[in-house]
């Protein structure tokens, strides 16, 4: 009797438990950070765009943090349609977007590292997403290498031309000297019979 009476209640309890668990999951998952690329490679002086689309209940607070092996610093925080607070070091290079995206321009070598976006909703729940940025100076080195090789080639061409000019001059001198040396003999030989 008792067991028969309780079984429906058990099922109901399970259903309530399940739905409340789903509800909790739904609340915890209320913040979403969508993004495609999490690993980016740029060169010095280029720009980078960390593209995300943030959604949550209420107005999100977006916070970007830079982390490298040696430092961890706040880049800035903002609310769509609300405040924007960018750290002084970054103020001229950072563009804050309503969907949480951040643009960083005029990259330096030291900008290479991890970028973490933290989204906090009105109830204090938060969620993170991370990006890796690699900043190359290869293009720069290539340019330097190119200009150095161009300079070396220019010098070589100059030396070759100087060498050719000197050889030409020396040849003319030798030829003139030979002519001069031969002339008196000729004169002598020509004069002798006279
Ligand atoms: C976020 O917004 C920016 C400009 O407003 C846009 O370029 C970018 O594609 C958006 N990102 C996503 C993931 O929707
Ligand atoms: C802006 O950010 C800096 C550093 O993160 C903080 O010290 C300052 O209180 C913030 N200002 C506002 C108005 O939120």
Q: Is the beta carbon of 74 within 6 A of some atom in ligand 2? A: yes
Backbone conformation region of residue 37, classed left if phi is above 0, alpha if psi is from -120 to 50, else beta: beta
- Listing DSSP states for 168-194 in one string gives HHHHHHHHHHHHHHHHHHHHHHHHTT-
Domain of 53 in residue numbering reads as: 31-137
72/124 same-domain check: yes
Q: Is the beta carbon of 147 within 6 A of some atom in ligand 2? A: no
144/124 same-domain check: no
Confidence check: pLDDT of 17 > 70: no
**Residue 14 forms part of a structural domain:** no
87/153 same-domain check: no
- How far does residue 105's CA lie from ligand 2's centre (Å)? 22
Average pLDDT over residues 18-42: 73
Q: Is the beta carbon of 84 within 6 A of some atom in ligand 2? A: no
pTM exceeds cut of 0.75? no
81/165 same-domain check: no
User: Which residues are paired to 129 by β-bridges?
Assistant: 117
**Residue 6 forms part of a structural domain:** no
CATH no. for residue 61?
2.60.40.10
**Residue 189 forms part of a structural domain:** no
Residue-wise pLDDT tens digits, 91-101: 999 999 999 99
Q: How many CB atoms lie within 10 A of CB 133?
A: 19
The structural domain count of the chain equals: 2
Q: Probe ligand 2: pick from 85, 87, 88, 120, max atoms within 8 Å of CB?
A: 85
* Core vs surface per residue 28-41: b (16+ CB within 10 A) or e: eeebebebeeeeee
167/71 same-domain check: no
Find the ligand nearest to 77 CA.
2
Q: How many CB atoms lie within 10 A of CB 61?
A: 20
Q: Probe ligand 1: pick from 34, 101, 102, 129, max atoms within 8 Å of CB?
A: 101
Residues 6+ away with beta carbon under 8 Å from 94: 64, 75, 76, 86, 102, 103, 104
Higher pLDDT, 164 or 5: 164
Lowest mean pLDDT of 11-20, 78-87, 128-137, name the range.
Answer: 11-20
Residue 25: per-residue pLDDT: 45
Task: Give residue ranges with CB within 6 A of ligand 1.
Answer: 34, 51-53, 97, 99, 101
C-alpha–C-alpha distance, residues 95 and 106, integer Å:
12
Q: Which of 137, 168, 187 is the last residue of a domain?
A: 137
Task: Identify the residue whose tokens are 């729940």.
Answer: 125
- How far does residue 73's CA lie from ligand 1's centre (Å)? 24
Distances in Å between the Cα of 89 and the Cα atoms of 66, 74, 92 are: 12, 10, 8
52/143 same-domain check: no
């Amino acid at each position: 009797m008792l067991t028969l009476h309780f079984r429906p209640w058990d099922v109901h309890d399970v259903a309530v438990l399940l739905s409340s668990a789903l509800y909790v999951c739904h609340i915890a998952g209320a913040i979403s950070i969508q993004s495609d690329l999490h690993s980016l490679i740029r060169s010095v002086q280029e720009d980078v765009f960390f593209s995300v689309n943030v959604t949550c209940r209420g107005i999100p607070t977006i916070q970007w943090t830079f982390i490298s092996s040696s430092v961890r610093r706040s880049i800035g925080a903002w609310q769509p349609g609300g405040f924007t607070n960018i750290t002084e070091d970054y103020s001229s290079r950072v563009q804050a977007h309503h969907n949480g995206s951040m643009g960083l321009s005029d990259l330096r070598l030291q900008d290479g590292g991890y970028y973490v976006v933290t989204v906090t909703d009105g109830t204090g729940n938060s969620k993170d997403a991370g990006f890796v940025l690699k900043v190359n100076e290869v293009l720069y080195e290539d340019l330097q290498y190119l200009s150095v090789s161009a300079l070396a080639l220019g010098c070589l061409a100059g030396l070759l031309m100087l060498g050719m000019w000197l050889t030409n001059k020396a040849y003319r001198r030798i030829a003139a000297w030979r002519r001069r040396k031969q002339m008196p003999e000729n004169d002598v030989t020509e004069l002798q019979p006279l």
